[in-house]
Chains A and B, each alone.
Chain A
Amino acid sequence: MTRRTIGMGLALGLGLLTLGAAGACRGGGSATPDGALTVAMMPKNKGNPYFVSCRQGAEEAAQQLGVKLLWDGPTETDPAKQNDVVEAWITRGVQAIAVSVENREAMSTVLRKARGKGIKVVTWDADADPDARDAFVNQATPAGIADVLLGHASRLAGPAGGEIGIITGSLTAANQNSWIAEMRKLLPTKYPNLTIVDIRPSDDDRKKAFDETQTLLRVHPKVKVVMAIASPAVPGAAEAVKQSGRKDVGVTGLGLPNASKPYLLDGVLDSAVLWNTKDLGYLTVQVATALAKGTPIAGTTQFPGGRLGQLEVRGDNIILGTPFTFTKANVGGFDF
């Protein structure tokens, strides 16, 4: 009988101890005074270095604004996880929810529910249905990306201009094609001495990008700039130019810093364009906080983005601004 009581006590004690330990290793928010706004922010995947980098910016903004930031999301492939976490945030009663949406259909339903309860909803990185959120933090517009890429190409080609060869993703990839369309619009007006002579597919494969770049250099020997506009294509194209020994050919492109890093440091790759992930996280918390404080965004033209300055608002999209360029000098500060 006594042993039974001891057993029960032991179980209860251990249970409480366990939960006490849970309280001790707090992971999400930083300590802020009570009464502060709580902003809950969700990546697609907590382990992905891309999102880890976004979180740094988000924490910075939260500290600056004095809001409590909850950062949580899936760690494994469970498509229901994002929904479950948002459901809990709704029950908990946060003032704003910011989500990078993995499953558009499923998330939109639960985000509408959050809005119905008066919680401000922001999407960032990947959007939900427009009626499911108050604003979308748009990391880059096709026109912005096209302009920065052509700027680098123009600098590499020199004052005389010249031929550009593009290594794209697949020939049907919507993102890449929208950037190419924007480049074609810009060329005659802003960069009249540049011409796109060839667009070859890499199918998001590094080896294929390597082969296609070799072909490009043989078919168009006068090409001055190779532009690789899919992340896996950047190292492939850079490797091909490196092996060709053509010092007169410059390489630029759009890609993740870690994939580009060896070639940036090597000097073969001049620049890799993407958005600044820390700024993306920073701006998202700025937007979520502003909405939670009742500042209207849709219908205005500018948003004060803290250290990012005044940013353009288009409809209910807040544009992060000019894409960010990774170079030999700054790539060491990024890890994703």
Chain B
Amino acid sequence: MPDAAMPASAPAAPTVSSHGQRRLATPERVLLALLVGELIWFSLAGTNFLTLDNGLEILRASTEVGLLALALTPVILTGGIDLSCGALLGLSAVVFGAIWRDAGQSITVAAAAAIGVGLVGGAINAWMVAGFGRPALIVTLGTASLFRGLAEGLTGGAVNYSGFPAAFLHLGQGRVLGLPTQAWVLIVAVALIAVLVHAATIGRGLRAIGYAPEGARFAGIPVGRRLALVYLLSGGAAGVAGLVYAARLGQARADAGTGFELSAITAVVLGGTSIFGGRGSVWGTILGLVALGVLTNGLRLADQPAELAGVLTGILLVVAIGVGARRGRT
């Protein structure tokens, strides 16, 4: 099954990417079919599932994981991974709360600090992965523990920052021009990452790094700088997601975003991005995100227990990847 995704298929790189730009690539079409299946099923089994309001709720609930997944797409395209983004979300949410309440700064200063924390966290990952060539899996596993530990240390594991002003809560709970406020943040992120991955030459460079880092270096691609950029972006996205999380729930605690990195990776991989790098698209990630969001939401509206979502996510992943790999070979 994984052989289609192995770097061994490197020579096929340009064909796959130009193919992907002309029409939806295989895994994305499989996913689209699954998504249609979900929609049909839940509109029959769920109560009030197929309503505009519910669609917007799904969008609202998916924004934080969506931001992480979007920023993870270029990371995974280079054959890397960022396991620390969920923990970094928690740390930036807590820092936001601490700067606003304990240090008595304005919301703007606190928000800037939270995004700053995300960028610094991303820079640490970038420094270790791009600068020292350490394996991303190990590096970000370590920084995940570090960031979560810092968040817990900062709050003693118990402090819960809350009571944020209404103007800030609007970011997570309000609507602007008919859409949940945070959806606009997500749309901007989609545009940014889509340009990065699909329009700019950088995107082709990222795929090349994913297929063969050494080859990319010989081809004159500044591998170190490209890698640093994607990890930095992932950190920044975690910072923004931390703010959205705090605004949606109206609280910031050290355990914010627990497990979000895994949901984000699931969305990316479900969307057909190869975990070995080199192959994938932003559109796939968006489809993956929607498929997951609809599944979780639909199950609840069909009165199913929440843990079933985990089982079905697993099945979806296996089916999508299994079918995708088979079709990828033909």
A residues sitting closer than 8 Å to B (CB atoms) are 3-4, 7-8, 10-12, 14-16, 18-20, 22-23, 25-29, 46, 70-81, 83-85, 87-89, 91-93, 103, 105-106, 108-109
Residues from chain B with Cβ under 8 Å of A106 in the complex:
162, 249-251
Whole-angstrom distance between the alpha carbons of A11 and B34 in the complex? Answer: 7
Q: Is the CB of A79 within 8 A of B253?
A: yes
Tell me how far the C-beta of A109 lies from the nearest C-beta in chain B, rounded to whole angstroms. 5
The answer to whether A105 touches B162 (Cβ under 8 A) is: yes
- Asked if B315 lies at the interface with its beta carbon under 8 angstroms from chain A, I say yes
Residue B302, interface by CB 8 Å: yes
Contact (Cβ within 8 A) B304 A8: no
- With an 8 A cutoff between CB atoms, is B191 at the interface? no
Partner of B45 from A23, A78, A85 at Cβ < 8 Å: A23
**Which of these binds chain A: B46-54, B111-119, B182-190?**
B46-54
Q: Closest chain A residue to B318 by CB distance? A: A14
User: A70 — nearest CB in chain B belongs to which residue?
Assistant: B303
B61 at the interface (CB under 8 A from A): yes
Q: Is the CB of B330 within 8 A of A3?
A: yes
10 A-B pairs besides A18-B319, A85-B306 with CB distance below 8 A are: A3-B330, A11-B34, A12-B34, A14-B319, A23-B302, A79-B249, A81-B306, A87-B57, A91-B301, A103-B249
Contact call B302/A4, Cβ cutoff below 8 A: no
Q: A16-B41, A80-B249 are in contact. Are A10 and B323 (CB under 8 A)?
A: yes
> For residue A14, which residues in chain B have a CB less than 8 angstroms away from its CB?
315, 319, 323
CB distance from A33 to the nearest CB of B (A): 15
Q: Is the CB of A88 within 8 A of B33?
A: no
Nearest chain B CB to A128's CB is how many angstroms away? 12
With the chains together, A10 CA to B324 CA distance in Å? 11
15 A-B residue pairs with Cβ-Cβ distance under 8 Å, sorted by A, are A3-B327, A12-B33, A15-B316, A20-B41, A23-B45, A25-B308, A29-B303, A72-B300, A81-B306, A83-B248, A91-B301, A92-B46, A92-B303, A105-B163, A109-B249
Q: Which residues in B have their C-beta under 8 angstroms from that of A4?
A: 327, 330
Taking the nearest CB of chain B, how far is it from the CB of A42, in angstroms? 10
Nearest-CB residue, chain B, relative to A18 = B315
**Minimal beta-carbon separation of B76 from chain A (angstroms):** 22
Chain B positions 52 through 82: 1 when the CB is less than 8 Å from some CB of chain A, otherwise 0: 0110010001000000000000000000000
Q: With A75-B307, A83-B249, A106-B249 as known contacts, state yes or no: A11 contacts B258, CB within 8 Å.
A: no
Q: Is the CB of A12 within 8 A of B48?
A: no
Shortest beta-carbon distance from A89 to chain B in Å: 7
Chain B residues within 8 Å of A46, by CB: 305, 307
In the assembled complex, which residues on chain A have CB atoms less than 8 Å from the CB atom of B326? 7
Contacts of A22 in B (CB 8 A): 299, 302, 304, 308, 312
B320 touching A91, Cβ below 8 Å: no
Q: Tell me whether A7 and B30 are in contact in the complex, defined as CB-CB below 8 angstroms, given that A19-B312, A78-B258, A91-B301 are known contacts.
A: yes
Known: A78-B259, A83-B249. A109 touches B306 (CB 8 A): no
Whether A79 contacts B256 by the Cβ 8 Å rule is yes
B residues 104-149 with Cβ under 8 Å of A? none
Given the complex, which residues of B lie within 8 Å of A108, measured CB to CB? 250
Report if B178 contacts A (CB, 8 A): no
A132 → chain B closest CB, angstroms: 11
Q: Is B36 an interface position by the 8 A CB rule?
A: yes
- B29 close to chain A: CB less than 8 A: yes
B160 interface contact, C-beta 8 A:
yes
A74 to B256, CA, bound (A): 14
B247 to chain A, nearest CB (A): 10
**Cβ-based interface call for B181 (8 A):** no
Q: How far is the CA of A20 from the CA of B302 in the complex (A)?
A: 12
Pair A73/B306 contact, Cβ less than 8 Å: yes
The residue from A81, A93, A103 contacting B47, defined by CB atoms under 8 A apart: A93
The smallest C-beta distance from A242 to any residue of chain B, in angstroms, reads 35
The reply to whether A91 and B258 form a contact with Cβ atoms under 8 Å apart is: no
Q: Smallest Cβ distance from B45 to chain A, in angstroms?
A: 6
Task: Tell me the minimal C-beta distance from B248 to chain A in angstroms.
Answer: 8
> Given the complex of chains A and B, what is the CA–CA distance between A108 and B319 in angstroms?
39
